[in-house]
A and B are shown apart, each in its own frame.
Chain A
Amino acid sequence: MGACGVSEAQQNRNGQESQSTQAYVALEQAIILGELKPNAVISEAELMTTMGFGRTPLREAIQRLAKDRLVTIVPYRGAFVAPIDPLIELTLLEMRRELDPVLVRTAAELATPEQRTELRQLAEETRRLLAKDDRVAAVKIDAIVKKLLLEISANPYLTMVMRPIYALSRRFYFNVVRQPGSAINTHYNALLENVADNHPNKACAAAIAFLEELESFARGVLLGGTPR
């Protein structure tokens, strides 16, 4: 089950907690997709009307997003969508260069036949959604892919380390990369297919190629430099 399982089990215990999870998911998606822009004020009153959540669940969701660093809470001033900080984005990518290969290799080695089938279906689905540029669905599929990879790794410590890193990486990918260049997609799909086909080395190489491509893109966008 890992780190996420614990809090979910706890949240399902009463209705209010699961309301706060719903609010969290909805707000996270709005931030990831850029519907809530960096530095935008997060107004509880407004969200209560537009999203239909109560004050307490919303407040809890905002606290969780602050922990994910997607929201900045300024005492006496309120909550804001965290700005996209180029240094943090590049640091995240550098960290993923070390961590993703470990996860991907383990997943390729340990997946059960059923999980491999699921991964192939997810790769197919990802390809389809990218072709349609359906970002809302792509965000959901991406979360399912990450969760599945972590589940396959059966490593609660790796899960506890990676979950917040992925939570923070998603916004840059879906909000800034937007219509990702084809090389990024190709590597991502190669990664999933190689995990599914039990090719740990190739899956690792695809993960590194994916992150290198993303990093060079990030440098171009964030620092205004020319991509390597």
Chain B
Amino acid sequence: MNDYISGSQADGGRLTQAAQAYHLIEEMIVNGQLKPGATLSVPTLSDKLGIGRTPVQEAVKQLALNEMVVVVARQGFKVSPIRFGQMRALMQARRPLERLLARFAARNATPAERNGLRAVSDELVTSAQRGDEEAVIDADGRLKQLLIASARNDLLSAAIGPIFAHFRRLYFLAVPAPSLEVAIAFSHAYVAIAEGREEDAVDAIDMVMNEIEHAMKRNESKIAKPAQTAVDEEA
């Protein structure tokens, strides 16, 4: 697992607990269990997760650094609003990181990881062909974990993990799952990564990012009218 909290070293058990708390709270935000604007209470979360207050506090602070949580003066921590207007900003940060992820994974994946990439990538395409959104999102998530593990670059995983989390949160709300076009474009990239063709993989990732940007433009009208819980800060 990549650990967004401790960096390269774990400080005994405590930071590992903070990392655990981080992942659990992040997941609650991503899947909408904690809604945008909801106040986060460290004692409540601590009881709920069965993790001490200090590590929970630390996790919440890290979530604030990663834009999942905002600090509101005199009110404490709140789940950050969904900023649909910020989709472009997210993509802008995502593209260079995805290119790097492809590069490092193509270079460093083990043979088993390469087989895994091929297999799950097939699954992604067949799920998209069936129009099974849930299976698409599931395969997409597993591929990302596999890529992050294959890249063996914890600086990169610390950077891209939160970006992926932001995108996953958008999937749960208003953004459609990867379309067939995107799934196929992704599969070209994954095959290139699996075969260790670094430059081809980076080019293929660029195509995917272009495809996603086009899809976002096509869906702009839908995205512009998000669910009621969403707040568009840029409006």
0/1 interface trace, chain B 28-54, chain A, CB 8 Å (1 if under):
000000000000000000000000000
Residue pair A160, B162 in contact (C-beta under 8 Å) = yes
B65 on the A face (CB < 8 A): yes
- A98 in the interface (beta carbon within 8 A): yes
The interface-forming segment of B86-94, B124-132, B169-177 is B86-94
For B96, the chain A residues whose CB sits under 8 A away are 98-99, 101-102
Number of interface residues of A (CB under 8 A): 35
Q: Please report the C-alpha to C-alpha distance between residue A63 and residue B99 in the assembled complex, in whole angstroms.
A: 31
Say whether A95 contacts B92, CB under 8 Å.
no
Is A52 in contact with chain B by the CB < 8 A criterion?
no
Q: Which residues of chain B are near A101, meaning CB under 8 Å?
A: 96
B153 adjacent to A91 (CB under 8 Å): yes
Question: Is B142's CB within 8 Å of the partner chain A?
Answer: no
- A164 pairs with B158, CB closer than 8 A: yes
Beta-carbon contact of A94 and B159 below 8 Å: no
From the candidates A3, A9, A91, name the one contacting B73 in the complex (CB within 8 A): A9
Chain A residues 50 to 109 lying within 8 A of chain B, measured CB to CB, are: 63, 66-69, 72-75, 82, 88, 91-92, 94-95, 98-99, 101-102, 106
A95-B155, A98-B99, A102-B96 given; A157·B90 CB < 8 A:
yes
Closest to B100 in A: A98
Name the distance in Å between A88's Cβ and chain B's nearest Cβ. Answer: 7
Shortest beta-carbon distance from A70 to chain B in Å: 10
A106–B96 Cα distance when bound, in Å, is 13
Contact of B67 among A69, A73, A156, A168 (CB under 8 A): A156
Contact A94 B100 (CB under 8 A): yes
Asked if A14 CB lies within 8 Å of chain B CBs, one says no
Q: Does B212 contact A (CB under 8 A)?
A: no
Q: A7-B64, A157-B86, A161-B163 are in contact. Are A102 and B92 (CB under 8 A)?
A: yes
A6 and B7 contact, CB distance less than 8 A:
no
Q: How far is the CA of A91 from the CA of B152 in the complex (A)?
A: 11
Say whether B61 faces chain A, with CB atoms less than 8 Å apart: yes
Q: Does B70 contact A (CB under 8 A)?
A: yes
Residue contact A9 to B71, C-beta cutoff 8 Å: yes
Of all chain B residues, the one with the shortest Cβ separation from A70 is B7
B9 to A72, Cβ gap below 8 A? Answer: yes
Which residue of B is nearest A105, CB measured?
Answer: B92
* A contact residues around B70 at 8 Å (CB): 6
Can you pick out 21 interface pairs between chain A and chain B where the beta carbons lie within 8 Å of each other?
Answer: A6-B65, A10-B64, A10-B71, A66-B7, A67-B5, A73-B11, A88-B155, A91-B153, A91-B155, A94-B100, A95-B100, A95-B159, A98-B97, A99-B97, A102-B95, A155-B92, A156-B67, A156-B86, A157-B93, A160-B66, A160-B162
A-B complex: 4 closest residue pairs judged by Cβ atoms: A98-B96, A157-B93, A155-B89, A75-B12
